[in-house]
Amino acid sequence: MALTSSMNWGINLLISLTFLTVTELIGLSWVCFIYTIMSLASLAFFIVFIPETKGCSLEQISMELAKQKYVRTPLCGVSQRREKLVPQELAERGKEQLY
């Protein structure tokens, strides 16, 4: 959540600092077109890569995302074993069906 919030504030800052300069350089209609393309690209990313979590508990979501044997951490690119990433209680519950 902290990473997502930081990215949101960072992108908002970037847009706020560059909007007037870019508008003067290429015009308002092109700026709106570029922002539209970026929005459509992010929508496509969400549809393709983000799993549906409606009606699932946090434990179910954690177990679903941790089903891979190895998980690549996005910050350093080092692979870690799943057992290190999933708490022991969740790993034991994963053997049972969660509803």
Sign of the dihedral defined by the CA atoms of residues 91, 57, 67, 73, in that order: negative
Mean pLDDT by runs of 10 across the 99 residues of the chain is 91 92 94 93 88 82 70 48 55 55
Of how many residues is the chain composed? 99
- What DSSP character marks residue 67? -
Statement: the pTM of the whole predicted model exceeds 0.85: no
Residue 95: both structure tokens together? 């053997």
What pLDDT score was predicted for residue 16?
Answer: 93
